[in-house]
Amino acid sequence: MRKIVKVLLAVMMLLAVSGCGAKEELKEVPAGFCNNYEEAVFDKFNSNASENGLGGTKVWVEGTYKEILTMDTEGLTMYYTTFKAKDGHEWLLMLDAYPAAPKEPYEKLYGHTLCAKGSYEGYSSVYAMPVIYLHSLYDRNTGSILGSAAFAE
């Protein structure tokens, strides 16, 4: 009986340890997803578009976000977030607008590793960071793509 208990305890410990630290494998960004977009290098885009002449440049950046905020402007509710890039820099990512699209699909992406592509539109002096209007997001956790209705290319 003691031997059976020891074997059961050993098996339970192995099962518990095998689940600890398991890291989800991220999906590869599909070939062509970022075609015609350049990697958003923070130092290059961290100024007013009128100064750097880069307004409208198609860029991509990889990172995460934790919350979605809303801003009412010209009869629309805009969704935006502070997008933290892999290099630690933050970008103001304009996601979409209501009534063009609901907010919920973006809320499901909290904490996911995302590849965001869009157009660089300048610098927000209010938030002190460069601004990207989203075209689409690739979710590296699930492999799904979410496109912006308001800022589609």
Task: Give pTM, 2 decimals.
Answer: 0.83
Tell me the average pLDDT of the chain: 87
Quick one: pLDDT at residue 100?
87
pLDDT tens digit string along 89-104? 999 999 999 988 999 9
* Residue 5 confidence class, pLDDT cut points 50, 70, 90: very low
* Residue 122 confidence class, pLDDT cut points 50, 70, 90: very high
Quick one: pLDDT at residue 23?
61
Helix (H, G, I), strand (E, B) or coil at 68: coil
Quick one: pLDDT at residue 79?
95
pLDDT tens digit string along 40-85? 999 999 999 999 999 999 999 999 999 999 999 888 899 999 999 9
Q: Cα–Cα distance between 87 and 41 in angstroms, integer? A: 10
Quick one: pLDDT at residue 6?
43
Q: Over 60: is that where the pLDDT of 14 sits? A: no
* N residues, the chain: 153
Structure tokens that stand for 127 in this block = 């938030």
**All domains in the chain, ordered by first residue:** 34-147 (2.40.50.140)
